Structure 1
Amino acid sequence: MTRKRRSLIALLLTSAGLLITPLAQADIVLSGTRIIYKGDQKDVTLRMENKGPRPLLVQTWIDTGSENADPSAIAVPFTVTPPVSRVDAKRGQTVKVTWTGSQKLPDDRESLFWFNALEVPPKMSDAEAKNKNILQLAFRTRIKLFYRPVNLKGNASDAPKQLTWRLQLSGGKLALLATNPTPFHVSFSELKLVSGGKKYDVNAHMVAPKGNSEMTVKGLSAAPSGAIVEYSAINDFGGAIDGKAKL
């Protein structure tokens, strides 16, 4: 699963004592780990659920891959409505992503964007904050949004097995080079190089359509013979597509 969270931390410490807080986590849970926007769809929807005990303000937007970009300065061919939502505790909110056609995208392959949900908890009242050490967190969740044009050849679920693999040295380290001849992005949750009964972890990356990606093999400095690649790719629904491939 491809998912990133950034914490914007504000600390209010009293003059005495140490800050002790349980491990924090996001309260907003999205209904999927990725969004597939097909070119013949008018719009797609995504459900946000507030699993926490307090209402939250949630800002949503789409970016082109730069996670630090100012949302107000990003130009994308989509709108998200509503852009800001109040989501009560244990309740949900549906947001709609709509294609505007304001930019020309390739029609022979998928295009990648990112959907963002930033949750900001309400400010504690003076009475709640009195004589307390407070840690307030604003979490951001990012998931991939794939724009998939109509009439692409093949099927996204078949794309992982069509990748070709080879070993090469890169900067003195052994790396796998994956080449993707398909029009679909291929993302991995796990990737290993298997040789001589041993499995070596690979620093897996997503492979863009009609592109390639170099991935470092951990703990291996020389190219073995008879090695194979074992992978677990991610399908449109966040599930696994397991397979093996020869080099």
Structure 2
Amino acid sequence: MKLNKWASIISLSLAMLCFNASADVVLSTTRIIYKEGSKTVNVRMENQGSRPLLIQTWMDRGNKDSDPGTITAPFVITPPISRIDPKRGQTVSFLYSGSEPLAKDRESVFWFNVLEIPPKVTESARKDASVLQMAFRTRIKLFYRPESIGGDLAAAKAIEVVKWSTGIENGKVIIKGKNDSPFHVSYVSAKIISGHKIIDLESSMIAPFSQGSFAVKNNQSIPAGSTIEYNAINDFGGIVKGKSPIL
């Protein structure tokens, strides 16, 4: 069974749905921190649904539409395919294979994919036009963290030291975040506060030693002396609220 076939089913299913639907498999974390020197890192998957599921897992490098059969990543996932019965779980182990050297002065990021493949529809159910076969995919980040750049406290500090400024990009007003740390900084949401005026921003992630651009919704101008307020994500998937001046 080809994974890209199921990716197409996901897109088609979501387009056809007019009711709420959600994945049955729940992960024990919303992000994975793989520290250099770890033998393995484990993530628990729980099937909270009422039917058995076949689960396929793989890594990608940031392109969610890439063909899993052509992706190479320096991690071994065990097991790559598993069956999880209703109300039961499965532990997935990650092992850095060393097949590709990763940066020593900053984090590297990969994405972990979990695809739920539902059981085959029975003949009687197939005759029911209201039945829609669906496959769900969950995708979370895996950060490989070199020992030399520090641990949890250093990563938490990185959120606080991003410097903000305004700019124009392709004729659009943007806010630029400069990340001088070796850690990735991810934002759930952000907004600009100027007096009683609030301007929403698109959320994004800023890579280590890089500058990220946040689009200003409705292309509004940014008054001098404004402040950015944000919700960032820490190592444990929790929300960190903060604010910083826009220079």
Answer whether TM exceeds 0.5 for this pair: yes
Counterpart of 1:185, as a letter, is: H
User: Aligned residues, how many?
Assistant: 236
Establish whether residue 115 from structure 1 lines up as the match of residue 116 from structure 2: no
User: For residue 201 of structure 2, what is the amino acid of its counterpart?
Assistant: V
* Greater Cα shift, 123-132 or 196-205: 123-132
C-alpha offsets along residues 139-185 of structure 1, whole Å, 9 cap, x if unaligned? 11100000001120471011111111101122232110111000000
Q: Is the 8 A contact 1:10 1:137 kept in 2?
A: no
Q: 2:136 corresponds to which residue?
A: 139
Q: 1:86 to 1:223 in 2, by over 3 A?
A: same
1:60 aligns with 2:57: yes
* Residue in 1 that maps onto 2:174: 175
Q: Structure 2-normalised TM-score?
A: 0.90
Matches within 5 A, 1:17-32: 22-32=19-29
1:137 is paired with a residue whose SS is: coil
Cα 1:10/1:183, change in 2 over 3 Å: closer
Q: TM-score, normalised by structure 1?
A: 0.90
Greater length-normalized contact order (CA 8 Å, ≥ 6 residues apart): 1
Return the letter of the residue paired with 2:73: V
Q: What does residue 159 of structure 2 align with?
A: 160
Structure 1: tracts of 5 or more residues without a match: 1-5, 12-18
| 1:124 aligned onto 2:112 | no
Give the distance between the partners of 1:26 and 1:158, measured in 2 at CA.
34
Question: Equivalent residues in 2 for 1:1-247 (5 A)?
Answer: 8-9=9-10, 22-153=19-150, 155-247=154-246
Q: How far 1:134 sits from its partner (Å)?
A: 1.8
Superposed CA RMSD: 2.0
Give the stretch that moved more between structures: 203-212 or 215-224.
215-224
Measured in 1, the distance between the counterparts of 2:210 and 2:237 equals 22
1:219 is displaced (CA, Å) by 3.6
After TM superposition, give the deviation of residue 78 of structure 1 in Å: 0.2
In the alignment, which residue of structure 1 is the partner of 2:4?
Answer: none
Q: Percent identity?
A: 48
Q: CA deviation at 1:22?
A: 4.0
Considering fraction of residues, name the structure with more helix: 2
